[in-house]
Amino acid sequence: MVEATLTPYSQVIVETNRYSVPGALASAKLVVKLYPFAVEIYRTDQAAPLAVHERGYGREQDIFDPLHYLPLLEQRPGAFDYATPLRQWRTTWPAVYETLLTQLRRQWPEGRGIREFVTILQLHQHHSAELIAAAIAQALDHQCAHADGVQLCLHQLLTPALPTVVLDLQNRR
């Protein structure tokens, strides 16, 4: 275990590399456990890790979990396009995300569109990327492209439809 200090950018520095930490949950002093393929970051007063990252063996690397930065972007939607963790994530996310983002920005250009999109991205904390992409695609198809619409579609995908029971009363008299 190694003690680490939180930087102003919600990161800890371990062997020249910087690992992100959820800003709202972090404390000034943190403990880091190093494994061959992982880095676990803990608060000293908690047993569960605050963050787990794949270990970086390069030098001066920034290793981000973009989910750590979503609460900040919800408060400051103007920073969305400039946030490095999100710019990196955007290179790998499905095309439906960009379609939704474009539509939300067009619908609410003053910042609410970004806030809606960040709310949708926060669904990644509890659901797989494939499931969220399917919910976004469904919401776009149903013309309900906003946070509530995506959450409704996600709920429908998670809740299988009950089979329709046909009641045959032909033999009853």
Q: Which residue has the higher pLDDT, 7 or 128?
A: 128
Average pLDDT over residues 136-163: 92
Q: Are 10 and 26 in contact (CB under 8 A)?
A: yes
Q: How many CB atoms lie within 10 A of CB 43?
A: 16
With CA atoms as reference, report the closest residue to 114 among 88, 67, 75.
Answer: 75
Average pLDDT over residues 68-81: 90
pLDDT tens figures, 1-60: 888 888 888 899 998 899 999 977 777 788 999 999 999 999 888 889 989 999 999 999
Q: Are 138 and 153 in contact (CB under 8 A)?
A: yes
Please state, in angstroms and rounded to a whole number, the distance separating the CA atoms of residues 153 and 16.
43
pLDDT tens figures, 95-125: 999 999 999 999 998 889 999 999 999 999 9
Q: How many CB atoms lie within 10 A of CB 86?
A: 19
Q: What is the reported pTM?
A: 0.82
Q: Provide the pLDDT confidence category of residue 173 given band limits of 50, 70 and 90.
A: low
